Amino acid sequence: MAPENNTTLDAVVVGAGFSGLYMLHRLRDILGLDARVLEAGDGVGGTWYWNRYPGARCDSESYYYSYSFSEDLEQEWEWTSKYPDQPEILRYLEHVADRFDLLRDIQLETRVTEAAFDAETNRWKIFTQRGEHFEAKFLITAVGCLSAANIPDIPGLDDFDGDWYHTGAWPHQGVDFSGKRVGLIGTGSTGIQATPVIAAEADHLTVFQRTPNFSVPARNAPLGKEQWATIKSDYRDIRRRTRETSSGFPYKPVERSALQATQAERTEVYEDLWGKGGFSFLWGSFNDVMRDKEANDTVAEFIRDKIREVVKDPVVAERLLPVDHPYGAKRPPIDTDYFETFNRKNVTLVDIRQDPITAITQDGLHTKNAEFELDTLVLATGFDAMTGALLNIDIRGSEGLRLADKWVEGPRTYLGLQVSGFPNLFTITGPGSPSVLTNMPVSIELHVEWISDCIQHMRDNALETIEASQEAEDRWVEHVSDVAKETLLGQADSWYLGANIPGKTRVVMPYPGGHFEYRKRCEKIARNGYSGFDLSR
């Protein structure tokens, strides 16, 4: 789409990932609105456009991690494997954009820098880096929960003579690691996926680990014709079940406490789930592993035993054991041969809690006690999660209130969908909604459909604005905090809490009350005429 100046629209959507694409389809093709998506990248795909690092792959089964809104789309698309890699997911999203003719209303290479609500006209004024200006009744952010890169402030990074890359802004042409001495910082989901793939290619890989992490094998496998026939005939039931669980995955948890089971019974359950692999290990487990520390300890020790079994050098194994947080209190990674990779001769593990990084130099990286010569440095250091991408836009509400100021002590929303003081702004999978604690497409579809139904309701009733009431927002923030206290999430320094970003207020950002309960609540609120929201004519 060619840029224009002073464009007036019904709705502007920011971001063309999973949520932005579906939002555009709903607004334009179902509601008949004049809507446009503004996207910073030069292609669609969001997370799957940016994260092209080696080993980038979905952690959720493809037939759960996909759109459910179109049965035709479901029937015509076949994933090659249980956990598709990044290029395949990007192809899927490009196919969706193409199939629903979305591209004509998506403006690429357009970064939104500023958005201000004009209370005189009840319109959002939206500005882009390229100097364009839009006006729209509705502003819908589809910016993703993990899209603002966290680049650590390590002295000397600019002096490095080699190449360095953040995994979330990976070069499109790829990176050739052959013959290279590579350093990788970070052992979250990304570092854990990238490590085995880089190690297989590089001359030497040094992994700089701050916090040892729990990880569970993916058990990836190709999907053949027969499996597809079964999945396709089951799709309606699969989708129903994903919506009726806490996680957005259709796994059935073991409906009792891990502590009611004997050691032998627990081992049997954990071995079975370990064999299946993936998120079923967390969500198909005993129902209290995320609520009761003692129950969690049983599963944490099971994983530590697996690490001790796999890693041959006992000193390295010990260094890899996660001990400072409960399993699942940080976002649990899923891997293919991560711990096995530390048995390779060309891989070194450095514990940077014991021996902290002091500087990056022309030749490599210095820790307090050692020097590492490197040709390439990979920063798998994650994101300013949940609020970073929203606050990178200067968003100002009805009385000039800045979202950044309002959220100094942590994000405040009603249902993660709206913010008091910011009329007609909707935040898809915003903080305060279950989002990252669930299977994302399930949460995304719920929000997109809720928002488009809400806009339809406003049109049917000739309503001009909708805004979360201050009281409903306060009650919701308190509720999120109360529910979080019943979980183990507060016991880890995770990005769920903003603890990975120096200076960020520490507060549980996603709503841990479970997808199904949350869905019923959103639906009831809509049925009751949008209780907790102020609607004006």
CB 360 within 8 A of CB 162: no
CB 92, min distance to ligand NA7, A: 17
Query: How is residue 113 written in tokens?
Result: 């820098």
- Least distance to ligand NA7, CB of residue 149, Å: 9
Taking the least distance from each CB to ligand NA7, the nearer of 316 and 401 is 316
C-beta of 211: minimal distance to ligand NA7 in Å?
3
Which residue intervals of 144-262 are DSSP H helices?
189-201, 225-243
Q: Which is nearer to ligand NA7, 142 or 380 (CB)?
A: 380
**CB-nearest residue to ligand NA7:** 188
Asked if 356 and 347 touch (Cβ cutoff 8 Å), the reply is: no
**Nearer residue to ligand NA7 within complex by CB, 341 or 381:** 381
**3-state secondary structure (DSSP) of residue 530:** coil
> Is 367:207 a contact under the CB 8 Å cutoff?
no
Going through 229-346 in order, the beta strands assigned E by DSSP cover: 334-335
- Provide the pairing of β-strand 181-185 with 394-396: unpaired
Task: Evaluate whether 68 touches 445 at the Cβ level (below 8 Å).
Answer: yes
Minimum Å gap between C-beta 218 and ligand NA7 is 13
Closest residue by Cα to residue 77 from 60, 59, 61, 89 = 89
Pick 134 or 214: Cβ nearer ligand NA7: 214
- H or E segment to which residue 76 belongs: helix 71-76
Minimum CB separation of residue 350 from ligand NA7 in Å reads: 11
Q: 230 is written with which tokens?
A: 């079964």
Residue with token string 């702004």:
425
- Minimal distance, residue 212 CB to ligand NA7, in Å: 9
Site residues for ligand NA7 per CB under 6 A: 146, 150, 152, 167, 185-191, 210-211, 331, 352, 380-383, 495, 500
Nearer to ligand NA7, 420 or 494 (CB): 494
Q: Could you give the angle at which helices 440-460 and 515-527 cross, rounded to 10 degrees?
A: 0
Select 45 or 186, whichever has its Cβ closest to ligand NA7.
186
Nearer of residues 13 and 357 to ligand NA7, judged by Cβ: 357
Secondary structure letter of residue 7 according to DSSP: E
Nearest approach, Cβ of residue 378 and ligand NA7 (Å)? 11
